[in-house]
Copies of this chain bind each other. A is one copy, B any other.
Amino acid sequence: MTPRAQPTTGKGAETRARILETSLRLFLERGYEGTTMRLIAKDAGVSVGNAYYYFKSKETLIQAFYRRTHEEHLVACVAVLEREKGFEDRLLGVMHAKLTTIEPYHRFSGILFKTAADPESPLNPFSEASLPTRRESTTLFAQVIEGTKLRVTKDLWAELPNLLWIYHMGVVLFWIHDRSEGRRRTTMLVERTVPLIAQVVRLGSLPLLRSMTRRATAFLAELREEAGLPEAGDGTQEAPLEDA
């Protein structure tokens, strides 16, 4: 019934890995649409049904890309956060690392985002299934501000990682639709908006704007609270641990 995400035998794990690697190679060679499940199975030396024994669908195979980029990005950010010490530079470095990491997969951004946009999809950044990944991202942005001597009000400090995560999603959304060579426009977007964000954050703590900042952060907390109860209540605590 449910695909075997974690094979029990060593042989099973090997087969699973072979299917995954074959599919990623074929996706790169022939694109998503150009790669059929039959071809993947044939090239991996298994039957079609066997591929479905390990992976729920063709989509879950391409989702492996997503995970891969996510992890690569986290790794790349370690060096960035080691090197940079100012808020603006850190954020800029993290965003640049993001763009560099995902660039090879721009070709698949369409299909990736297509599935990601579906509220039911585990790839969807807002869904519960992707909560672990999202938490990792938020933690990353928390690190971006933690290492700095940025002085902001407490409430904003608490909310900032989430806001930066949303900003980062917006950039990715822009990137997906960016048809310029080398994703020139997205790079420009980042280089212009990061300083702007830094400025807004600094200004947000001025007495003049304090009340507004407080209003905004209070609202965000309220919104989260509103979501918290019903969704934690009705949903069973299932965490299917979708494939890799």
Which residues of A pack against B, CB within 8 Å? 109-111, 113-120, 124, 126-127, 176-177, 179-180, 184-185, 188-189, 192-193, 196, 199-200, 203, 208-209, 212, 215-216, 219, 222-223, 226-227, 230-231
Q: List 16 A-B contacts (CB under 8 A).
A: A109-B119, A110-B118, A110-B119, A111-B118, A114-B118, A117-B117, A119-B176, A126-B177, A180-B226, A188-B223, A192-B219, A196-B212, A196-B219, A199-B212, A200-B212, A208-B208
A212 contact set on B, CB distance < 8 A: 196, 199-200, 203
Interface of A is mostly: helix
Instruction: Please report the C-alpha to C-alpha distance between residue A40 and residue B226 in the assembled complex, in whole angstroms.
Output: 40
Instruction: Please report the C-alpha to C-alpha distance between residue A28 and residue B188 in the assembled complex, in whole angstroms.
Output: 43
User: How many copies make up the complex?
Assistant: 2
Q: Which of B188, B196, B203, B231 contacts A179 (CB 8 A)?
A: B231
Q: How far is the CB of A45 from chain B (nearest CB, A)?
A: 33
Chain B residue nearest to A177 (CB atoms) is: B126
Instruction: Please report the C-alpha to C-alpha distance between residue A180 and residue B235 in the assembled complex, in whole angstroms.
Output: 13
A118 contact set on B, CB distance < 8 A: 110-111, 113-114
Top 5 A-B residue pairs of the complex, sorted by shortest distance between their CB atoms: A117-B117, A192-B219, A126-B177, A113-B117, A114-B118
A192 contact set on B, CB distance < 8 A: 219, 222-223
Q: How far is the CB of A62 from chain B (nearest CB, A)?
A: 14
A189 contact set on B, CB distance < 8 A: 223
Knowing that A196-B212, A203-B212 touch, tell me 7 more A-B residue pairs with CB under 8 angstroms: A110-B119, A114-B118, A124-B177, A126-B177, A185-B226, A188-B222, A192-B219
Q: Which of B177, B184, B199 contacts A119 (CB 8 A)?
A: B177
A203 contact set on B, CB distance < 8 A: 209, 212
A226 near B109 with CB under 8 A, answer no
Instruction: Please report the C-alpha to C-alpha distance between residue A83 and residue B200 in the assembled complex, in whole angstroms.
Output: 35
B124 near A180 with CB under 8 A, answer no
Q: How far is the CB of A10 from chain B (nearest CB, A)?
A: 38
A179 contact set on B, CB distance < 8 A: 119, 231
